[in-house]
Amino acid sequence: MPQHFYTMLQELQTVDFVLVELTLYLDTHPLDGQALQQYNHCAQQRMQIAHQFEREFGPLKSYGQSFSAHPWQWVNTPWPWQV
C-alpha cells in the first residue's frame, strides 16, 4: 500500500479517538455547547476523510456499512493485523 493509505488511516484513527473522548465527556456534561460543537465538527471531518479513503482504497467496513465496486474490494486492502 502507498504511504498515503497509512497517512489517511492514521487521520481516521486520530479523529475516531477524539470522537470517543468527546462522547464520554458529553455523557457527563451534556450541556457543554462547545464540546458538542467540537463533536459535530469532528464527526463531519471523519465522514469526509472516510469518504475520501473509501473512494481511493475501498471499503473501511463490511456488513453493509460501506459500498464496494466490482470486483469485491474488501480483500484488496491490508487486514487489520497487517497495518
pLDDT tens for the 83 residues of the chain, in order: 889 999 999 999 999 999 999 999 999 999 999 999 999 999 999 999 999 998 998 888 776 655 656 666 666 777 767 77
Q: Cα–Cα distances in Å, from 81 out to 53, 54, 68, 77, 78?
A: 19, 19, 21, 11, 8
Query: In the prediction, which pLDDT does 32 show?
Result: 94
Q: Which residues contact 37 (CB under 8 A, 6 or more apart)?
A: none
DSSP state of 69: P
Q: Write down the pLDDT at residue 28.
A: 94
Question: Got the DSSP string for 19-48?
Answer: HHHHHHHHHH-TT-HHHHHHHHHHHHHHHH
- DSSP label at 62? -
Do the Cβ atoms of 25 and 17 come closer than 8 Å?
A: no
